[in-house]
Chain A
C-alpha cells in the first residue's frame, strides 16, 4: 500500500502540473481548454526533438517550454482571441480542434510508436522500507514541489501574479482599474504551458512517449481541477495529488484497467456532492 501511495504521488505530481494550467486558463479566459493535454504531449515531443539534436536534457526542456509557449500564444492570437465574447462553448469546441491538430502534427513528425528519451535503465531502489522508486520518479516529485512553490510565490508576490488573480476574480473590473489584461492573458498561457510541458516531459520519462499521451490524461486533469474547485490553482495542486493517489491506490483492489474510471467516478461524485470543489465556494484562491 505504501508503494501504491508513493506511485500515486509521482503520478499525482504530473496531474497537478497539468491541472494548474488548465484551471488558470479556465479562471482567466473562462473556457475549458481541451487542448491542454495535447500541449503536454507537444512539450514532451519537442524535448525529444532537442535531445535528439544532442542537447543536454535540462536545456532541451527549457527550449521545449519556450517553443510550446510561443505555439500557445500564437494559437490564442490567431484563434481563441476572436471568440472571447462569444461564450465558453465556442472556445471549448475550438480547443477540441486545436487538440486534434496538435496530436496529428505530432503523429506526422514522430509517428505513432512508443518512444523513449533514453534507453538507459533506471533501477528502482529502496528509499524507506516498503517504498521503491527510481531516480526519475524522485526527480519528478522534487521538481514538482519546487514548481508549486514557485507558482505560489509568483501568484502571491509578483505584480503580474496578483493581476492574474484579480483578472480571474473579475476581468471587467481588471480593465477598469487599468490592469493590462492583454499581458495577463499572455502570462496565463505562458505559466500554464510551461507547467504543462514539465508535466508532459515527466510523463514521457515515466511511461515513454506516445502521441495520445496527453489527450488520455485529460480526464484526470479535469477531475483534479474540478475536485480542487475549477479556476483555483491551489485546488488543482491538491486535486492532482488526490486523483493520482486514488488512481494508483485503486490498483491494490481492482484491475489496473479501471484506473481512468477512478478519476471519472471522483469527478462525478464531486460534481454531485460539492460542485464548487474543495477550495471553491467562497471564490477564493486559497
Chain B
C-alpha cells in the first residue's frame, strides 16, 4: 500500500509549467530519492505535493485519500512533514522553541517528543536554550529534521537535506535520515548528491524536464550506465 501516490502531476508558477506529468509513489516505511539535473522540477514536485504550489492537473493521494490542493496546515494533521531546502528554522527562536513550533497543532504534552528528538540529535540537545540563528549549517539542518519529527509523521519530505554542508556533516545527516526511517517513517527525498542518495534509497526516480525519465531500485539506478553518465557525474 502506497503511503504517497502522485499521478500525472502538472504544476508550476502561473503560466509556466515546471512539472509536465510526473508520477511517483512511496510505500510505507520506504525511502525514495528523486534525482535529476538542475531545473528538472525536483523542488517544485515537493512543493506541489505539500500544497505550496497549486496543482494544475493530476492527483496526489496520501494513504489512499486524495490530498490534491490541500493546504500545508491540513497536511501536517494527516501525518506528513516537509523540510524545505533553506531557511528551514526560525532563527530568532531558541532550539527548544523551534521544536515546540513544529508541534504547533498538538495540544498535548510535548516533553516526550522533544526528548526523543534530542536523543536522535545530541548535538542540538546541548544547545536547547540557544537562539537557533547561531547554530552551524549542520546544526540547523538537524533542528529542521527534529522539528519535522515533532509531529510524529508517517511521511517526511526532505528537500536537499545535505545542501551546503561539509562532507562530514553531510554523512552525519544521511545517517540520521536512515535512523529516522528505521523508526518507521517513510521518506521522500530530493538530492543533488545523487550517488549518496541512491545508495541509501530503496527506490529512486530520475526527473528530467518535469517528467519521469528513469525509475528503478536505488542499486539498479546506480548501476545503470546511462544514468551514471548523464546524471551521476560521469564514469
Contacts and interface: CB of A to CB of B under 8 A. Distances in A.
Interface of A: 159, 162-163, 165-166, 168-170, 172-181, 282-286
Nearest to B97: A162
Contacts of A181: 73
Given A165-B92, A178-B77, A283 B100 contact: no
A179 B73 CA distance: 7
A282 B131 CA distance: 11
A284 B134 CA distance: 10
A177 B104 contact: yes
Contacts of A284: 91-92, 131, 133
A33 B92 CA distance: 23
Given A177-B147, A180-B73, A169 B91 contact: yes
Which 5 pairs across A and B sit closest by C-beta, in order of nearness?
A178-B76, A169-B90, A166-B90, A284-B92, A178-B105
A26 to B, nearest CB: 15
A189 to B, nearest CB: 19
Interface of B: 50, 52, 71-73, 76-77, 82, 84, 87-93, 97-98, 100-102, 104-105, 131, 133, 147-148, 151
9 contacts: A165-B92, A166-B90, A166-B101, A170-B91, A173-B89, A173-B90, A175-B71, A178-B104, A286-B92
Contacts, number: 75
Contact of B92 (A178, A180, A285): A285
A286 B151 CA distance: 28
B127 to A, nearest CB: 15
A77 B146 CA distance: 35
B78 to A, nearest CB: 11
A175 B76 CA distance: 10
Which residue of A162, A176, A282 has the most chain B CB atoms within 10 A of its CB atom? A176
B73 A159 contact: no
Contact of A159 (B87, B89, B104): B104
B90 A165 contact: yes
Contact of B93 (A166, A172, A180, A282): A166
